[in-house]
Amino acid sequence: MSTPALTTPVDDFLDHLALQRSEHTLRAYRGDLADLTGFVTERGIARWDQVSLPDLRAWLGRMHRGGAASATLQRRTAAVRVFYRWLVAEELVEQDIAEALASPKVSRALPPDLGRDDLDTLFRAALDRAGEPDAGPLGLRDVALLEVLYGSGARVAEVCGLDIDDLDRARGTLRVLGKGNKERTVPLGRPAFDAVDRWLAVRPKVATEVSGPAVFLGARGGRINQRVVRRVVHERLEAVPDVPQFGPHGLRHAMATHLLEGGADLRSVQEMLGHASLATTQIYTHVSSERLRAAFTRAHPRA
């Protein structure tokens, strides 16, 4: 059984963290530290100042051998690092042994490819569905959703949060509020604006007193939620043969990939996607080997 000298600092740390982190992060850290507390207790350790760096490595090693994903190990490493920084600040331990913990690399799987022909099929299917007698105004909403998701590369939460005054057709831009409440302006093409205009023309048929300025509405008139957007994407993709199912994030990935294949530079794509780091864009997008080879042949003096 864990001693109060182990559990009390964890509880105090989580209370401290509650003012800084989301409930999701708190819940994850609580589970991570509970697991670590149980592990060191099994080793006969009663206080945090008795834990050694090999103990922490053994804990991570056991999880790795048990098949834990790299992302899980990385999060647990982060949790322990933050916890030990707090322990040092509170003078409960003298040395921050967790600082030397190596963080495992996370492999980021790319979403399935969605080619240009697949996109044409997707948009045609959405338009066909919008023209069916029972589709109603929401059929045009779904077409506009797909066009904006692919046309802007915006995250699903960003699209759900769009207000009407975020649209600037004259400039061909869209204003979105991204992660960390960072606002950015992204270009949006004519097909997407045309689809949005068609939806806005019938939006009053769906709007209620709770609609506010939201561009995209749910069936009951409130601002659309992410679950509905994901369902729309999944349903429309059923019309595209031989394409694995994926959510709105796949349209964002397709947009970035097609931009790069069309000659856009990586920095511009980074800005459009709202990535804080260029490294994230490099992982998230990919460029065909044929295009890379062609660029090398054109630009390298000894190609």
Active site (annotated) includes residue 182: no
Residue span(s) of the chain under CATH 1.10.150.130 come to 4-100
Active site (annotated) includes residue 236: no
Active site (annotated) includes residue 108: no
Which superfamily does CATH assign the domain made up of 116-296 to? Answer: Intergrase catalytic core (1.10.443.10)
What is the mean pLDDT of the segment spanning 61-68? 86
Which two structure tokens, joined as six digits, stand for 204? 């009053």
Active site (annotated) includes residue 29: no
Contact (CB, 8 A) for 112 and 246: yes
pLDDT score, position 290: 53
Which two structure tokens, joined as six digits, stand for 87? 């322990």
Q: Single out the catalytic residue among 30, 249, 258, 286.
A: 249
Q: Single out the catalytic residue among 155, 198, 203, 253.
A: 155
Rounded Cα distance between 279 and 250, Å, is 19
What is the mean pLDDT of the segment spanning 279-288? 61
Mean of all residue pLDDT scores within the chain: 86
Active site (annotated) includes residue 275: yes
Q: Single out the catalytic residue among 75, 198, 203, 275.
A: 275
pLDDT score, position 74: 86
Block residue for tokens 């949006």: 188
Q: Single out the catalytic residue among 169, 171, 179, 293.
A: 179
pLDDT tens-place string over residues 7-53: 999 999 999 888 777 777 888 899 999 999 999 999 999 999 999 99
Report the top-level CATH class of 4-100. Answer: mainly alpha
What is the mean pLDDT of the segment spanning 264-289? 73
Which two structure tokens, joined as six digits, stand for 120? 């044409």
Question: Which amino acid is residue 188, in one-letter code?
Answer: L
Model confidence at 241, in pLDDT bands (50, 70, 90)? confident
Model confidence at 184, in pLDDT bands (50, 70, 90)? very high
The CB-side HSE value for 189 (13 A sphere, CA atoms) comes to 10
Q: Single out the catalytic residue among 252, 253, 267, 302.
A: 252
Active site (annotated) includes residue 64: no
Rounded Cα distance between 289 and 293, Å, is 6
What is the mean pLDDT of the segment spanning 180-205? 93
Residue span(s) of the chain under CATH 1.10.443.10 come to 116-296
pLDDT score, position 101: 85
